[in-house]
Amino acid sequence: MRFGAITFIWTSPFVTAELGVLARVADAGFDVVDVAVEEVGVLDPGALRAALDEHGLDVVVTGFAATGRDLSSADAAERAAGLAYGRACVDLARAAGARVVSGPLHSAVGKARALAPDERRAERRRAIDGLHELAAYAGERGISLAIEPLNRFENDMLNTVAQGLDMCAEIDAENVGLLLDTFHMNIEEKDVGAAVIEARGRVFHFHTSENDRGAPGSGHVNWSEVADALRAIEYDEVISVESFASSVPGLQTAVSMWRPFFEDPDAFARESIAHIQSLFP
């Protein structure tokens, strides 16, 4: 098992000038940095690869659909922008040595609306078609996609593991699986452990976050249940800690951050990894 931390904990957008964050990730004891891609073209792949080597870190790339780059949009230009963004994430992953691009790539974060059934089906079909095309591009470059179900307040298309598995089946590509996140599962799943086990064989990445986005172990998520389920499916990939610095502009609305999730990102990172490591002695 390898343990990672997402760059959102310290900064956003993660740009070349912020590569010093990798030293803080390594100093906290993590094996992997989870690079969040808010914008394309702001992070030099060669410089990232050199910094990873310097600090002895592996890497996962996490991206997300947003307004203006949404594979499910009825607007062809927006779908094209979503595909271009996804390809850029794949290219960054390949250049940096990552094997997985994860995140809510299917539909814009923050898009939560009531739609007529025919509109809902059409939107979902567009997302599946776009992800099928992106999966082919990624597969040719040795990259897997891990699609993330979000809670109902952040997205109206994909909320549960069952929905995620259905979408994977329709995309029909061996290199497409799921990113599961305890924050979202704590809201949407009736039985978190059972949901993890249901996704056996399709869990390509895993995010840990407490029910209030605080450090894992500080809230009411049943971490023993989570750990037992991951052992049951023989998950042996990366477990990343995810939260968001309150200083990050533009994220407040997307993640409903109306108060700080922590005061000191380095202390948060150390507390988080200590708890996660204790689950897998």
Q: List, for residues 226-260, the tens digit of each pLDDT value.
A: 999 999 999 999 999 999 988 766 667 777 888 88
Is residue 18 among the annotated active site residues? no
Mean pLDDT of 250-275: 89
Six token digits for residue 40: 């394309």
Which one of 148, 198, 210, 271 is the catalytic residue?
A: 148
pLDDT band of 75, cuts 50, 70, 90:
very high
**Nearest-angstrom CA–CA distance, 15 and 229:** 36
User: To the nearest whole percent, how much of the chain has pLDDT over 90?
Assistant: 92
What's the chain's average pLDDT?
A: 96
**Nearest-angstrom CA–CA distance, 148 and 240:** 13
CA distances from 262 to 109, 172, 232, 243 (A): 22, 40, 32, 9
Is residue 123 among the annotated active site residues? no
Mean pLDDT of 156-177: 98
In this predicted structure, what is the pLDDT of residue 248?
63
Residue whose C-alpha is closest to residue 143's, from 175, 102, 105: 175
Which one of 154, 189, 242, 271 is the catalytic residue?
A: 242
Q: What CATH architecture is 2-279?
A: Alpha-Beta Barrel (3.20)
Going by their DSSP bridges, the two strands 203-208 and 238-241 should be labelled as: parallel
* Window from 60-74, 149-163, 220-234, 246-260 with minimum mean pLDDT: 246-260
In this predicted structure, what is the pLDDT of residue 195?
98
Going through the chain in order, the beta strands assigned E by DSSP cover 2-6, 32-36, 58-62, 100-103, 144-147, 176-181, 203-208, 238-241
Q: What is the pLDDT of residues 207-222, one digit of tens each?
A: 999 999 999 999 999 9
In this predicted structure, what is the pLDDT of residue 54?
98
8 Å CB contact between 27 and 48: no
Mean pLDDT of 270-278: 98
- Cβ neighbours of residue 27 closer than 8 Å, sequence gap 6 or more: 266
Q: Three-class SS of residue 245?
A: coil
Six token digits for residue 1: 């098992």
Q: What is the pLDDT of residues 92-143, one digit of tens each?
A: 999 999 999 999 999 999 888 999 999 999 999 999 999 999 999 999 999 9
- The pTM of this model reads 0.96
In this predicted structure, what is the pLDDT of residue 30?
98
Domain boundaries, the chain: 2-279
* Window from 30-34, 143-147, 248-252 with minimum mean pLDDT: 248-252
Going by their DSSP bridges, the two strands 2-6 and 238-241 should be labelled as: parallel
